[in-house]
Amino acid sequence: MLTFLLVSAFANTAFSNTVLAKDVPFAIAIHGGAGTIQKDHFTPEKEAAYRAKLKESVEAGYTVLEQGGTSLDAVATAINVLENSPFFNAGKGAVYTHDETHEMDASIMDGKNRQAGAVAGVKHIENPINLARLVMDESVHVMLSGAGAESFAHSQGVKLVDNKIFDTDHRYKSLQRAKAKMKKAKQQNKDYQAAHFALDTEYKVGTVGAVALDKFGNVAAGTSTGGMTNKRYGRIGDSPVIGAGTFADNASCAVSATGHGEFFIRYNVAADICARVQYQGKSIDQAGKEVIHDVLMPVGGTGGVIIIDSKGNISLPFNTKGMYRASKSTSQVTYVGIFKDD
């Protein structure tokens, strides 16, 4: 009798989970940046630490969804985990500008109503994605920059932090390497543009982002970054630009990008992927592959995207050696990838 009861209780649980998974899908995907990420650059310990942090981020976001939170909350929660880690180029691990400071960009978009918020060139905000969310929720604007964004933060009770909290040794060394390479190119009489173009991908990419679908059928996307190593003159990348680095619309999909921002802005990458889904009826796999491989690759635009649609499908295309990434959904256990063949 007891056996029967146990079996029947198990069957009921399994059945109700199946029904939930089938009827109310929810899902999340995250990235920690694309780039020249190769297995031989990692010790086993370092690789394990990166994988653990990606897993922690995707599972933190998934838990929010599981508990009935919105896709916006899940996206911000997952991104906070990555911003708070020195491993990724956002928040604590942000790269250095030419002047040896850190300037960060972030944006978030709600697929339910196309509301969006973004900040660009902020220096004293610990979690820029949260400020982007405040811009969306509490201001009448979409994008705020620099000192103005920080004075808005102050008015919202956000603590301003010392720029030095974003200092890390490995990013400082990377800045020095980038400067040395630019100097050498100059000595070889290369002009600034040619020298910059010749710089390895590693100095131009790195970001974090998340896309999610919640139980209410709404998608959202968010992206947060320190931008490009050795950047000058208040350079802003694609990450805070709605349509380029971030886009979300329930009618098509939600996208967060990572890659050489100048290309992602000029090719309007995130919105182009969603437009192909909406107007050409393409799957997110097909649309993502076309833009990342067929559009960006031939012109030298390196990077990748994470995409989710309102059915909970996930696609993670990139044209670089690797991309830090993870996903989890009601129909898929946690996946974590770093290298191409993961």
Cite the active site residues. Answer: 207
Closest CB 96 distance from ligand ASP, rounded Å: 13
Whichever of 25 and 240 has its CB closer to ligand ASP, that residue is: 240
On whether 259 is known to bind a ligand per the annotation, the reply is: yes
On whether 258 is known to bind a ligand per the annotation, the reply is: yes
Give the HSE-up count for residue 119: Cα atoms under 13 Å, Cβ half-sphere.
32
Residues that bind ligand ASP (CB under 6 A): 33, 205-207, 225, 227-228, 237-239, 245, 258-259, 261, 264
Closest CB 126 distance from ligand ASP, rounded Å: 19
Whichever of 228 and 336 has its CB closer to ligand ASP, that residue is: 228
Helix (H), strand (E), coil (C) string for the chain: CHHHHHHHHHHHHHHHHHHHHHHCCCEEEEEEEEECCCHHHCCHHHHHHHHHHHHHHHHHHHHHHHCCCCHHHHHHHHHHHHHCCCCCCCHHHCCCECCCCCCEEEEEEECCCCEEEEEEEECCCCCHHHHHHHHHHHCCCCEEEHHHHHHHHHHCCCCCCCHHHHCCHHHHHHHHHHHHHHHHHHHCCCCHHHHHHHCCHHHCCCCEEEEEECCCCCEEEEEEECCCCCECCCCCCCCCCECCCEEECCCCCEEEEEECHHHHHHCCHHHHHHHHHHHHCCCHHHHHHHHHHHHHHHHCCCEEEEEECCCCCEECCECCCEEEEEEEECCEEEEEEEECCC
Whichever of 205 and 271 has its CB closer to ligand ASP, that residue is: 205
On whether 36 is known to bind a ligand per the annotation, the reply is: no
On whether 237 is known to bind a ligand per the annotation, the reply is: yes
Closest CB 156 distance from ligand ASP, rounded Å: 25
Closest CB 340 distance from ligand ASP, rounded Å: 17
On whether 235 is known to bind a ligand per the annotation, the reply is: yes
Contact 113, 76 (CB under 8 A): no
Closest CB 231 distance from ligand ASP, rounded Å: 8
Whichever of 35 and 61 has its CB closer to ligand ASP, that residue is: 35
On whether 281 is known to bind a ligand per the annotation, the reply is: no
Whichever of 117 and 259 has its CB closer to ligand ASP, that residue is: 259
Residues flagged as binding site for substrate: 235-238, 258-261
User: Binding site: residue ranges?
Assistant: 235-238, 258-261
